[in-house]
Structure 1
Protein backbone atom coordinates (compact mmCIF):
# COMPACT_ATOMS: atom_id res chain seq x y z
CA UNK A 1 0.00 0.00 0.00
CA UNK A 2 1.02 3.65 -0.30
CA UNK A 3 2.12 5.22 2.97
CA UNK A 4 0.70 8.66 3.75
CA UNK A 5 1.13 11.08 6.64
CA UNK A 6 -0.75 14.18 7.73
CA UNK A 7 0.54 17.53 6.52
CA UNK A 8 1.20 20.13 9.23
CA UNK A 9 -2.04 21.76 10.39
CA UNK A 10 -0.55 25.14 9.52
CA UNK A 11 -0.08 24.10 5.88
CA UNK A 12 -3.63 22.75 5.56
CA UNK A 13 -5.08 25.87 7.17
CA UNK A 14 -3.13 28.10 4.79
CA UNK A 15 -4.56 26.21 1.80
CA UNK A 16 -8.07 26.74 3.20
CA UNK A 17 -7.62 30.45 3.87
CA UNK A 18 -10.81 32.28 2.85
CA UNK A 19 -12.66 29.00 2.28
CA UNK A 20 -15.36 28.65 4.94
CA UNK A 21 -17.49 25.81 3.54
CA UNK A 22 -15.51 22.63 3.00
CA UNK A 23 -16.17 19.14 1.62
CA UNK A 24 -13.94 16.22 2.61
CA UNK A 25 -13.27 12.98 0.71
CA UNK A 26 -11.31 10.20 2.48
CA UNK A 27 -9.88 7.12 0.78
CA UNK A 28 -11.03 3.79 2.22
CA UNK A 29 -7.99 1.79 1.10
CA UNK A 30 -4.35 2.84 1.62
CA UNK A 31 -5.01 6.02 3.61
CA UNK A 32 -7.56 4.14 5.69
CA UNK A 33 -4.98 1.49 6.58
CA UNK A 34 -2.57 4.28 7.56
CA UNK A 35 -5.17 5.83 9.83
CA UNK A 36 -5.03 9.02 7.76
CA UNK A 37 -8.12 8.25 5.67
CA UNK A 38 -11.37 6.36 6.09
CA UNK A 39 -13.69 7.24 8.96
CA UNK A 40 -10.79 7.98 11.32
CA UNK A 41 -9.33 10.49 8.90
CA UNK A 42 -12.72 12.12 8.45
CA UNK A 43 -13.11 12.54 12.22
CA UNK A 44 -9.70 14.19 12.54
CA UNK A 45 -10.32 16.52 9.60
CA UNK A 46 -13.85 17.40 10.67
CA UNK A 47 -12.71 18.32 14.19
CA UNK A 48 -9.86 20.40 12.78
CA UNK A 49 -12.17 22.27 10.41
CA UNK A 50 -14.62 23.02 13.22
CA UNK A 51 -11.78 24.35 15.39
CA UNK A 52 -10.92 26.73 12.56
CA UNK A 53 -14.52 27.91 12.31
CA UNK A 54 -15.13 26.12 9.02
CA UNK A 55 -18.42 24.49 8.03
CA UNK A 56 -18.22 20.88 6.85
CA UNK A 57 -20.78 20.59 4.05
CA UNK A 58 -19.84 17.02 3.07
CA UNK A 59 -17.73 14.30 4.68
CA UNK A 60 -17.56 11.13 2.60
CA UNK A 61 -15.40 8.01 2.41
CA UNK A 62 -14.44 7.14 -1.18
CA UNK A 63 -13.94 3.58 -2.37
CA UNK A 64 -10.54 4.06 -4.08
CA UNK A 65 -9.65 7.72 -4.63
CA UNK A 66 -6.97 7.05 -7.25
CA UNK A 67 -9.50 5.83 -9.84
CA UNK A 68 -10.54 8.79 -11.94
CA UNK A 69 -13.84 7.17 -12.93
CA UNK A 70 -14.78 6.35 -9.33
CA UNK A 71 -13.75 9.82 -8.15
CA UNK A 72 -15.78 11.40 -10.95
CA UNK A 73 -18.92 9.56 -9.86
CA UNK A 74 -18.45 10.57 -6.21
CA UNK A 75 -18.09 14.18 -7.33
CA UNK A 76 -21.14 13.98 -9.61
CA UNK A 77 -23.36 12.21 -7.07
CA UNK A 78 -22.30 13.74 -3.76
CA UNK A 79 -20.32 16.96 -4.32
CA UNK A 80 -21.96 18.71 -7.26
CA UNK A 81 -25.36 19.07 -5.52
CA UNK A 82 -23.52 21.06 -2.82
CA UNK A 83 -21.29 23.20 -5.06
CA UNK A 84 -23.42 26.31 -4.59
CA UNK A 85 -22.35 26.43 -0.94
CA UNK A 86 -18.93 24.70 -1.06
CA UNK A 87 -15.61 26.53 -1.27
CA UNK A 88 -13.07 23.68 -1.34
CA UNK A 89 -12.63 19.91 -1.49
CA UNK A 90 -10.14 18.41 0.98
CA UNK A 91 -8.82 15.01 -0.13
CA UNK A 92 -7.44 12.51 2.39
CA UNK A 93 -5.51 10.16 0.12
CA UNK A 94 -2.15 9.66 -1.55
CA UNK A 95 -1.06 11.97 -4.36
CA UNK A 96 -2.81 9.66 -6.84
CA UNK A 97 -6.18 10.41 -5.28
CA UNK A 98 -5.46 14.15 -5.22
CA UNK A 99 -4.50 14.09 -8.91
CA UNK A 100 -7.65 12.09 -9.62
CA UNK A 101 -9.74 14.85 -8.05
CA UNK A 102 -7.96 17.51 -10.11
CA UNK A 103 -8.56 15.51 -13.31
CA UNK A 104 -12.28 15.46 -12.54
CA UNK A 105 -12.37 19.28 -12.24
CA UNK A 106 -14.80 19.38 -9.30
CA UNK A 107 -15.54 23.09 -9.65
CA UNK A 108 -13.85 24.06 -6.37
CA UNK A 109 -10.19 24.16 -5.29
CA UNK A 110 -8.74 20.76 -4.35
CA UNK A 111 -6.69 20.69 -1.13
CA UNK A 112 -4.36 17.80 -0.24
CA UNK A 113 -4.22 17.16 3.51
CA UNK A 114 -1.75 14.27 3.32
CA UNK A 115 1.79 13.71 2.05
CA UNK A 116 2.76 10.52 0.18
CA UNK A 117 5.88 8.92 1.68
CA UNK A 118 6.30 5.74 -0.36
CA UNK A 119 4.92 2.22 -0.32
CA UNK A 120 4.93 -0.32 2.48
CA UNK A 121 3.46 -3.60 3.66
CA UNK A 122 0.35 -4.04 5.78
CA UNK A 123 1.84 -5.88 8.76
CA UNK A 124 1.43 -6.27 12.50
CA UNK A 125 5.05 -6.75 13.57
CA UNK A 126 7.92 -4.27 13.64
CA UNK A 127 10.70 -6.17 11.84
CA UNK A 128 12.90 -4.41 9.24
CA UNK A 129 10.79 -6.10 6.55
CA UNK A 130 7.67 -4.39 7.85
CA UNK A 131 8.82 -0.90 8.79
CA UNK A 132 10.97 -0.09 5.74
CA UNK A 133 9.08 2.24 3.41
CA UNK A 134 9.75 1.91 -0.32
CA UNK A 135 11.52 5.03 -1.61
CA UNK A 136 10.74 4.31 -5.29
CA UNK A 137 14.44 4.04 -6.12
CA UNK A 138 13.82 2.72 -9.67
CA UNK A 139 15.64 -0.64 -9.31
CA UNK A 140 14.43 -2.88 -6.47
CA UNK A 141 17.00 -5.21 -4.84
CA UNK A 142 14.78 -6.93 -2.24
CA UNK A 143 15.32 -10.27 -4.00
CA UNK A 144 18.96 -10.26 -2.93
CA UNK A 145 18.62 -8.60 0.50
CA UNK A 146 16.02 -11.04 1.83
CA UNK A 147 13.28 -8.43 1.81
CA UNK A 148 15.09 -5.66 3.74
CA UNK A 149 15.16 -2.40 1.78
CA UNK A 150 18.66 -0.90 2.12
CA UNK A 151 17.59 2.45 0.65
CA UNK A 152 14.97 3.02 3.36
CA UNK A 153 17.09 1.47 6.13
CA UNK A 154 20.52 2.99 5.39
CA UNK A 155 20.97 6.74 6.14
CA UNK A 156 23.53 6.90 3.30
CA UNK A 157 20.98 5.34 0.90
CA UNK A 158 23.48 2.70 -0.20
CA UNK A 159 21.68 0.14 -2.33
CA UNK A 160 24.34 -2.35 -3.40
CA UNK A 161 26.64 -2.48 -0.39
CA UNK A 162 27.97 -0.54 2.61
CA UNK A 163 29.89 2.75 2.46
CA UNK A 164 33.67 2.64 2.24
CA UNK A 165 33.93 3.92 5.80
CA UNK A 166 31.51 1.38 7.25
CA UNK A 167 32.74 -0.69 10.23
CA UNK A 168 34.14 -4.11 9.35
CA UNK A 169 31.93 -5.71 12.00
CA UNK A 170 28.77 -4.48 13.67
CA UNK A 171 29.24 -0.90 14.79
CA UNK A 172 27.91 2.66 14.49
CA UNK A 173 26.73 4.04 11.16
CA UNK A 174 29.11 6.52 9.49
CA UNK A 175 26.29 8.94 8.70
CA UNK A 176 24.25 8.47 11.89
CA UNK A 177 26.46 7.27 14.78
CA UNK A 178 23.42 6.85 17.03
CA UNK A 179 22.45 3.73 15.11
CA UNK A 180 24.31 0.61 14.02
CA UNK A 181 25.31 0.01 10.42
CA UNK A 182 22.34 -1.78 8.85
CA UNK A 183 24.52 -3.22 6.09
CA UNK A 184 26.39 -5.42 8.55
CA UNK A 185 23.05 -7.04 9.35
CA UNK A 186 21.98 -7.25 5.71
CA UNK A 187 25.26 -8.93 4.73
CA UNK A 188 24.51 -11.92 6.95
CA UNK A 189 21.75 -13.12 4.64
CA UNK A 190 22.17 -11.07 1.45
CA UNK A 191 23.71 -12.25 -1.82
CA UNK A 192 26.49 -9.67 -1.99
CA UNK A 193 27.95 -11.06 -5.23
CA UNK A 194 24.61 -10.63 -6.95
CA UNK A 195 24.30 -7.08 -5.60
CA UNK A 196 27.72 -6.22 -7.03
CA UNK A 197 26.61 -7.59 -10.39
CA UNK A 198 23.38 -5.62 -10.18
CA UNK A 199 25.31 -2.41 -9.51
CA UNK A 200 27.12 -2.86 -12.82
CA UNK A 201 23.95 -3.86 -14.65
CA UNK A 202 21.93 -0.90 -13.41
CA UNK A 203 24.63 1.56 -14.47
CA UNK A 204 24.10 0.43 -18.06
CA UNK A 205 21.87 3.15 -19.54
CA UNK A 206 20.99 0.91 -22.49
CA UNK A 207 19.35 -1.64 -20.17
CA UNK A 208 15.71 -1.97 -21.20
CA UNK A 209 12.76 -3.07 -19.12
CA UNK A 210 10.32 -5.71 -20.30
CA UNK A 211 7.38 -4.18 -22.11
CA UNK A 212 4.05 -4.72 -20.36
CA UNK A 213 1.23 -6.31 -22.35
CA UNK A 214 -1.15 -3.95 -24.07
CA UNK A 215 -4.13 -3.30 -21.83
CA UNK A 216 -7.40 -2.92 -23.65
CA UNK A 217 -9.41 0.00 -22.32
CA UNK A 218 -12.94 -0.83 -21.24
CA UNK A 219 -15.76 0.75 -23.27
CA UNK A 220 -16.94 4.11 -21.87
CA UNK A 221 -20.29 2.66 -20.77
CA UNK A 222 -18.55 -0.07 -18.75
CA UNK A 223 -16.22 2.48 -17.12
CA UNK A 224 -19.11 4.77 -16.24
CA UNK A 225 -21.15 1.94 -14.75
CA UNK A 226 -18.18 0.67 -12.71
CA UNK A 227 -17.55 4.14 -11.32
CA UNK A 228 -21.25 4.62 -10.54
CA UNK A 229 -21.46 1.21 -8.83
CA UNK A 230 -18.41 1.87 -6.65
CA UNK A 231 -19.81 5.26 -5.66
CA UNK A 232 -23.16 3.75 -4.70
CA UNK A 233 -22.10 0.77 -2.59
CA UNK A 234 -21.54 1.38 1.14
CA UNK A 235 -18.05 2.42 2.25
CA UNK A 236 -15.66 -0.53 2.32
CA UNK A 237 -13.40 1.02 4.95
CA UNK A 238 -14.79 -1.22 7.69
CA UNK A 239 -13.87 -4.30 5.59
CA UNK A 240 -10.38 -2.95 4.87
CA UNK A 241 -9.92 -2.28 8.60
CA UNK A 242 -10.09 -6.01 9.27
CA UNK A 243 -6.70 -6.65 7.64
CA UNK A 244 -4.89 -4.30 10.00
Structure 2
Protein backbone atom coordinates (compact mmCIF):
# COMPACT_ATOMS: atom_id res chain seq x y z
CA UNK A 1 0.00 0.00 0.00
CA UNK A 2 1.32 3.41 -0.98
CA UNK A 3 0.78 6.38 1.33
CA UNK A 4 0.15 9.56 -0.62
CA UNK A 5 -1.10 13.09 -0.09
CA UNK A 6 -3.73 12.60 -2.78
CA UNK A 7 -4.98 9.59 -4.73
CA UNK A 8 -3.58 9.41 -8.24
CA UNK A 9 -6.97 8.19 -9.52
CA UNK A 10 -10.47 9.43 -8.86
CA UNK A 11 -12.69 6.75 -7.28
CA UNK A 12 -15.77 5.50 -9.10
CA UNK A 13 -17.56 5.10 -5.76
CA UNK A 14 -16.80 6.43 -2.29
CA UNK A 15 -18.41 5.76 1.08
CA UNK A 16 -17.81 6.64 4.72
CA UNK A 17 -17.31 3.67 7.05
CA UNK A 18 -17.06 5.88 10.13
CA UNK A 19 -15.56 4.14 13.15
CA UNK A 20 -16.59 0.62 12.10
CA UNK A 21 -13.80 -1.95 12.08
CA UNK A 22 -13.54 -4.87 9.68
CA UNK A 23 -14.98 -7.25 12.24
CA UNK A 24 -18.10 -5.21 13.01
CA UNK A 25 -19.59 -4.84 9.56
CA UNK A 26 -17.22 -2.69 7.52
CA UNK A 27 -16.41 -5.57 5.17
CA UNK A 28 -20.10 -6.03 4.44
CA UNK A 29 -20.32 -2.38 3.43
CA UNK A 30 -17.19 -2.71 1.31
CA UNK A 31 -18.62 -5.76 -0.41
CA UNK A 32 -21.95 -4.02 -1.00
CA UNK A 33 -20.27 -1.05 -2.67
CA UNK A 34 -17.65 -3.05 -4.59
CA UNK A 35 -19.78 -5.84 -6.06
CA UNK A 36 -21.57 -3.58 -8.60
CA UNK A 37 -18.21 -2.31 -9.91
CA UNK A 38 -16.72 -3.86 -13.01
CA UNK A 39 -13.18 -5.21 -13.05
CA UNK A 40 -10.81 -2.30 -12.57
CA UNK A 41 -13.39 -0.16 -10.77
CA UNK A 42 -12.10 2.01 -7.92
CA UNK A 43 -13.68 2.24 -4.47
CA UNK A 44 -12.66 4.78 -1.84
CA UNK A 45 -13.24 3.79 1.79
CA UNK A 46 -13.15 6.56 4.38
CA UNK A 47 -12.55 5.43 7.94
CA UNK A 48 -11.71 6.81 11.37
CA UNK A 49 -10.91 3.35 12.81
CA UNK A 50 -7.16 2.77 13.14
CA UNK A 51 -7.34 -1.05 12.97
CA UNK A 52 -8.59 -0.87 9.37
CA UNK A 53 -5.11 0.21 8.32
CA UNK A 54 -3.84 -3.24 9.34
CA UNK A 55 -6.84 -5.43 8.46
CA UNK A 56 -7.75 -4.04 5.04
CA UNK A 57 -4.46 -5.04 3.32
CA UNK A 58 -4.97 -8.66 4.46
CA UNK A 59 -8.52 -8.66 3.11
CA UNK A 60 -7.39 -7.20 -0.21
CA UNK A 61 -4.65 -9.81 -0.49
CA UNK A 62 -7.07 -12.69 0.13
CA UNK A 63 -9.76 -11.36 -2.21
CA UNK A 64 -7.22 -10.43 -4.92
CA UNK A 65 -8.26 -6.78 -4.98
CA UNK A 66 -5.48 -4.22 -5.27
CA UNK A 67 -5.05 -1.72 -2.44
CA UNK A 68 -3.84 1.18 -4.53
CA UNK A 69 -3.13 3.96 -2.05
CA UNK A 70 -3.97 5.49 1.30
CA UNK A 71 -4.35 9.13 2.28
CA UNK A 72 -3.85 9.53 6.01
CA UNK A 73 -4.73 12.59 8.06
CA UNK A 74 -4.93 13.23 11.79
CA UNK A 75 -8.45 11.85 12.14
CA UNK A 76 -9.23 9.86 8.98
CA UNK A 77 -7.87 7.30 6.56
CA UNK A 78 -8.97 7.21 2.92
CA UNK A 79 -8.20 3.91 1.21
CA UNK A 80 -8.44 3.45 -2.55
CA UNK A 81 -9.16 -0.16 -3.54
CA UNK A 82 -9.32 -1.46 -7.11
CA UNK A 83 -11.64 -4.32 -7.92
CA UNK A 84 -9.12 -6.77 -9.30
CA UNK A 85 -6.03 -4.84 -10.36
CA UNK A 86 -5.17 -1.57 -12.04
CA UNK A 87 -4.13 -3.64 -15.05
CA UNK A 88 -7.79 -4.70 -15.36
CA UNK A 89 -8.76 -1.03 -15.38
CA UNK A 90 -6.34 -0.27 -18.19
CA UNK A 91 -7.54 -3.27 -20.22
CA UNK A 92 -11.15 -2.13 -19.80
CA UNK A 93 -10.19 1.36 -20.98
CA UNK A 94 -8.44 -0.04 -24.06
CA UNK A 95 -11.31 -2.39 -24.97
CA UNK A 96 -14.08 -0.97 -27.21
CA UNK A 97 -17.35 -0.42 -25.39
CA UNK A 98 -19.99 -3.11 -25.90
CA UNK A 99 -23.69 -3.35 -25.16
CA UNK A 100 -22.98 -5.51 -22.11
CA UNK A 101 -20.60 -2.85 -20.76
CA UNK A 102 -23.38 -0.29 -20.95
CA UNK A 103 -26.02 -2.54 -19.40
CA UNK A 104 -27.14 -1.32 -15.97
CA UNK A 105 -26.82 -3.60 -12.99
CA UNK A 106 -29.73 -5.98 -12.64
CA UNK A 107 -31.35 -6.91 -9.37
CA UNK A 108 -33.85 -9.60 -8.60
CA UNK A 109 -37.08 -8.84 -6.81
CA UNK A 110 -38.33 -11.59 -4.53
CA UNK A 111 -41.67 -11.74 -2.77
CA UNK A 112 -41.54 -12.11 0.99
CA UNK A 113 -45.08 -13.47 1.19
CA UNK A 114 -45.63 -17.11 2.06
CA UNK A 115 -48.58 -18.92 0.53
CA UNK A 116 -51.16 -20.06 3.06
CA UNK A 117 -52.13 -23.03 0.92
CA UNK A 118 -50.53 -25.00 -1.84
CA UNK A 119 -51.42 -27.80 -4.20
CA UNK A 120 -50.57 -31.28 -2.94
CA UNK A 121 -47.30 -32.60 -4.36
CA UNK A 122 -47.48 -34.88 -7.36
CA UNK A 123 -46.90 -38.55 -6.54
CA UNK A 124 -43.29 -39.56 -7.02
CA UNK A 125 -42.61 -42.47 -9.36
CA UNK A 126 -41.33 -45.65 -7.79
CA UNK A 127 -37.55 -46.01 -7.75
CA UNK A 128 -36.15 -49.46 -8.24
CA UNK A 129 -33.73 -50.85 -5.63
CA UNK A 130 -30.06 -50.07 -6.25
CA UNK A 131 -30.93 -47.29 -8.69
CA UNK A 132 -28.08 -44.97 -9.63
CA UNK A 133 -28.35 -41.20 -9.15
CA UNK A 134 -26.03 -38.28 -8.65
CA UNK A 135 -25.69 -36.70 -5.23
CA UNK A 136 -24.75 -33.03 -5.01
CA UNK A 137 -23.64 -30.78 -7.84
CA UNK A 138 -22.66 -32.03 -11.29
CA UNK A 139 -19.39 -30.43 -12.46
CA UNK A 140 -20.16 -27.04 -13.98
CA UNK A 141 -18.61 -25.64 -17.15
CA UNK A 142 -16.33 -22.65 -16.61
CA UNK A 143 -18.80 -20.36 -18.40
CA UNK A 144 -21.56 -21.42 -16.00
CA UNK A 145 -19.42 -20.58 -12.97
CA UNK A 146 -18.70 -17.18 -14.49
CA UNK A 147 -22.41 -16.61 -15.10
CA UNK A 148 -23.23 -17.45 -11.46
CA UNK A 149 -20.84 -14.81 -10.15
CA UNK A 150 -21.84 -12.17 -12.70
CA UNK A 151 -25.51 -12.73 -11.84
CA UNK A 152 -24.85 -12.40 -8.10
CA UNK A 153 -22.95 -9.19 -8.73
CA UNK A 154 -25.76 -7.69 -10.82
CA UNK A 155 -23.82 -7.76 -14.09
CA UNK A 156 -26.01 -10.43 -15.72
CA UNK A 157 -29.79 -10.19 -16.00
CA UNK A 158 -32.12 -12.88 -14.69
CA UNK A 159 -33.16 -13.83 -18.23
CA UNK A 160 -29.58 -14.17 -19.48
CA UNK A 161 -28.60 -16.17 -16.40
CA UNK A 162 -31.47 -18.64 -16.81
CA UNK A 163 -30.74 -19.08 -20.51
CA UNK A 164 -27.11 -19.93 -19.73
CA UNK A 165 -28.29 -22.18 -16.89
CA UNK A 166 -30.61 -24.05 -19.26
CA UNK A 167 -27.64 -24.82 -21.52
CA UNK A 168 -25.62 -26.11 -18.56
CA UNK A 169 -28.53 -28.28 -17.37
CA UNK A 170 -28.91 -29.81 -20.83
CA UNK A 171 -25.24 -30.80 -20.79
CA UNK A 172 -25.53 -32.24 -17.27
CA UNK A 173 -28.66 -34.26 -18.12
CA UNK A 174 -27.13 -35.55 -21.36
CA UNK A 175 -23.99 -36.67 -19.51
CA UNK A 176 -26.06 -38.52 -16.91
CA UNK A 177 -28.15 -40.27 -19.55
CA UNK A 178 -25.03 -41.36 -21.42
CA UNK A 179 -23.62 -42.72 -18.15
CA UNK A 180 -26.76 -44.81 -17.58
CA UNK A 181 -27.99 -42.92 -14.51
CA UNK A 182 -31.46 -44.07 -13.42
CA UNK A 183 -32.58 -40.90 -11.60
CA UNK A 184 -31.57 -37.77 -13.51
CA UNK A 185 -31.23 -34.34 -11.86
CA UNK A 186 -30.40 -30.85 -13.08
CA UNK A 187 -26.98 -31.20 -11.46
CA UNK A 188 -27.61 -28.08 -9.34
CA UNK A 189 -26.09 -26.04 -12.14
CA UNK A 190 -27.60 -22.73 -11.00
CA UNK A 191 -26.86 -23.14 -7.30
CA UNK A 192 -23.88 -21.31 -5.84
CA UNK A 193 -23.70 -23.26 -2.56
CA UNK A 194 -25.88 -25.31 -0.26
CA UNK A 195 -26.93 -22.18 1.66
CA UNK A 196 -26.69 -19.22 -0.71
CA UNK A 197 -29.78 -20.08 -2.73
CA UNK A 198 -31.81 -19.61 0.48
CA UNK A 199 -29.80 -16.76 2.00
CA UNK A 200 -30.00 -14.76 -1.21
CA UNK A 201 -33.79 -14.55 -0.87
CA UNK A 202 -33.80 -13.20 2.69
CA UNK A 203 -33.96 -9.56 3.70
CA UNK A 204 -31.10 -8.60 6.01
CA UNK A 205 -28.86 -11.30 4.57
CA UNK A 206 -25.90 -10.72 2.25
CA UNK A 207 -23.84 -13.27 0.34
CA UNK A 208 -20.13 -12.83 1.01
CA UNK A 209 -17.02 -14.86 0.11
CA UNK A 210 -15.53 -16.85 2.96
CA UNK A 211 -12.42 -14.67 2.66
CA UNK A 212 -14.44 -11.85 4.23
CA UNK A 213 -14.41 -13.77 7.51
CA UNK A 214 -10.67 -13.19 7.93
CA UNK A 215 -11.01 -10.37 10.51
CA UNK A 216 -13.41 -12.44 12.64
CA UNK A 217 -11.15 -15.43 13.34
CA UNK A 218 -8.78 -15.83 16.29
CA UNK A 219 -5.78 -16.83 14.16
CA UNK A 220 -5.88 -14.97 10.81
CA UNK A 221 -2.55 -16.41 9.64
CA UNK A 222 -3.68 -20.01 10.17
CA UNK A 223 -7.09 -19.27 8.63
CA UNK A 224 -5.45 -17.73 5.56
CA UNK A 225 -3.25 -20.81 5.15
CA UNK A 226 -6.32 -23.07 5.33
CA UNK A 227 -8.09 -21.00 2.68
CA UNK A 228 -5.13 -21.29 0.34
CA UNK A 229 -5.20 -25.08 0.74
CA UNK A 230 -8.80 -25.39 -0.52
CA UNK A 231 -9.35 -27.13 -3.85
CA UNK A 232 -11.41 -24.15 -5.06
CA UNK A 233 -10.58 -20.45 -4.71
CA UNK A 234 -12.01 -19.29 -1.38
CA UNK A 235 -13.35 -16.13 -2.97
CA UNK A 236 -15.32 -17.94 -5.67
CA UNK A 237 -18.14 -19.30 -3.48
CA UNK A 238 -20.32 -17.05 -1.34
CA UNK A 239 -22.05 -17.78 1.93
CA UNK A 240 -24.89 -15.94 3.67
CA UNK A 241 -24.10 -13.46 6.43
CA UNK A 242 -26.83 -11.80 8.48
CA UNK A 243 -26.41 -8.04 8.93
CA UNK A 244 -29.96 -7.02 9.89
CA UNK A 245 -33.46 -8.25 10.72
CA UNK A 246 -34.53 -11.20 8.60
The bucket for the TM-score relative to the shorter chain is under 0.3
TM-score by length of 2: 0.25
TM-score by length of 1: 0.25
Query: Taking CA–CA contacts closer than 8 Å with sequence separation of 6 or more, which of the two structures ends up with the larger relative contact order?
Result: 1
